[in-house]
Amino acid sequence: MNGAVIYSGKENVAYAAPGKHLVYPVPASRTTGITIFTPVPVGENFIITDATGRTLVRKELNSPFETIQTATLQKGIYFYMFIKEGIMVASGKLILL
């Protein structure tokens, strides 16, 4: 209103269509991890597997946005799943650099 310019720090903005899950960034750095969004996290698990199907990370989700640390994983291609009540509700590929 008075012509003053106000600056803020950088903020990340993400959009997920209603009812959809989001995993970002992809590809990801092993040191920064990944952020996941799930619309209704109650009773949902996030799982990362390798190419053989071996579970490497399993996290019970408690809030819509969560950060998953990936420092213990090697560089490569992995697969993720969101499981709710024993049913896979979303899945995708994760690349770690």
Please identify which residue in the block is written with the tokens 């994983």.
73
Confidence at 17, pLDDT banded by 50, 70, 90:
confident
Mean pLDDT, rounded, for 11-18: 75
Distances (CA, A) of 75 to 29, 30, 44, 94: 9, 7, 26, 10
Which residues in 77-86 are b (16+ Cβ under 10 Å) and which e? ebebbbbbee
The full set of domains in the chain, from first to last, is 22-96 (2.60.40.10)
Confidence at 82, pLDDT banded by 50, 70, 90:
very high
Please identify which residue in the block is written with the tokens 């579970």.
55
- The pairing of strands 44-49 and 76-84 is antiparallel
pLDDT digits (tens, 9 = 90+) for 24-81: 999 999 898 999 999 888 899 999 999 999 999 999 999 999 999 999 999 999 999 9
Model pTM score: 0.83
**Contact of 66 with 80, CB cutoff 8 Å:** no
pLDDT digits (tens, 9 = 90+) for 53-69: 999 999 999 999 999 99
